[in-house]
Structure 1
Amino acid sequence: MTHENPSDVHLTITADEAIVLFEFLQRFSNTDKLVIEDQAEERALWNLCCVFEKNLVAPFDKKYTVLLQEARDRLRDES
């Protein structure tokens, strides 16, 4: 049995999007450079943005700037 956080977001992307995005993120992880090497990466990122737009409510909240800052604070590595 899994114990999911009620604020978790579940997104669905295609297998093609997943592999293209995986390669894009792996490359960034290895080089610290965000560079589009193929138009498919751009398309996969656009598609992912559309998925977020369909599933997230926070970007449309009047307090979005505060919500974004709080999310960044929670995700940031501790120093």
Structure 2
Amino acid sequence: MAYSLLKSGALKSHFYNMVPGFPEIKCFHQFFCYLLYEFDKFWFNEEPESIMHFNQYREKFHDQIKHLLSNPEIILTL
């Protein structure tokens, strides 16, 4: 998910607001950790019936992250 957001250009505002100058790989690692942490919270809050619904909830979470990243002022950090 982190890589697809990077490739699509959705992370541009986040990186632009987060770091003066060019972002480094460390910035991507921090975003990846943010996604893991937030998805864990999201998963437990949603209380899915079983792991078989993983893709459905992953897509819902992905849509939420894309919506957050559509804000030009966004910085996603832990």
When normalised by structure 2's length, the TM-score is 0.34
Which protein is bigger by CA-based radius of gyration? Answer: 1
**Larger relative contact order, structure 1 or 2 (CA cutoff 8 Å, min sep 6):** 2
When normalised by structure 1's length, the TM-score is 0.34
Q: Which has the higher helix share?
A: 2
